[in-house]
Amino acid sequence: MNIETFQHVAETSGGILYLMGLLLLAALTVAIERSWYLWKVIRQGGQIMSRLESATKVEHQTLEHLGESFSQLPHARVLTVALQHDLNHDFDRISDKLDESIMREAPGIDRYLWILDTIVTMAPLLGLLGTIIGMFNAFQVLGDPGNAPTKVTGGVAEALLATASGLFIAILGLFFFNALSNRVRVIMHQLETLKVMLVNRMYPHYQNAAEVRAKQVVSDLRSRAV
């Protein structure tokens, strides 16, 4: 199909095919950008978890180093919450703070996926609208006695290209939407797992802090008794 033919078909569909091209461009842009970003987050997030997996207790320097090395990841911002937590607070507070940080990161992880979801729904409807407009123009040929019936069938065939385009874009968008949604679920699972790993590995610090506080209380009591 050359440019002249495409322009003719686009005009018979009421310009819907031009809009289809914009939808396809938007879908491909979101799919490529999100695929690269989410793949990078999953890969580097796995590196963070593998470094913490072998440790029975996390140190301040470890969390600080991981946060600086992967500062662009949502995992790093969860690590920052654990890094800034005051051990004098109740142990349950750290879990609540980590849950809050994960909830704050969720909108940024699935950002732009609503565009793909909208395109998947909109493209077939616009294609159907373009076909209806094209068929309306095609059947207007019957009002001119000098036109052959083959022009009607040719016009109908051209009108159906709008529906075919809409279905193609919807199928492509649905594939990427499901694939990217699965990657989002993997990242959220990583963040939840990271939260549990941090809580388990920060508990020894609470034990040490409790022992220090207990020794301090005993020391104060003895000093007062003297």
Query: What tens digit of pLDDT does each residue of 54-111 get?
Result: 777 777 777 778 878 888 889 888 888 887 776 666 666 778 888 888 999 988 898 8
Q: Which residue has the tokens 């609470």?
A: 206
Instruction: Read off φ and ψ for residue 221, nearest 5 degrees.
Output: -65, -40
Q: What would the two tokens of residue 194 be?
A: 């990271």
Q: How do the residues of the chain divide into helix, strand and coil, expressed in percent and rounded to 5?
A: 85, 0, 15
| Predicted TM-score (pTM) of this structure | 0.76
Q: For the chain of 226 residues, list the mean pLDDT of each consecutive stretch of 10.
A: 57 74 93 94 89 75 80 86 70 79 90 93 89 74 58 64 89 95 94 87 55 43 49
Q: How many CA atoms lie within 13 A of 155 on its CB side?
A: 21
| Residue 216, pLDDT score | 47
* Per-position b or e across 87-99, b if 16+ CB within 10 A of its CB: eeeeeeebeebbe
- Residue 65, H or E segment: helix 60-69
Q: Which residue has the tokens 């607070």?
A: 89
| Residue 152, pLDDT score | 54
CA distance 175 to 31: 10
CA distance 173 to 168: 9
Can you give the length of the chain in residues?
226
Helices H / strands E in the chain, number of each: 7, 0
| Residue 147, pLDDT score | 56
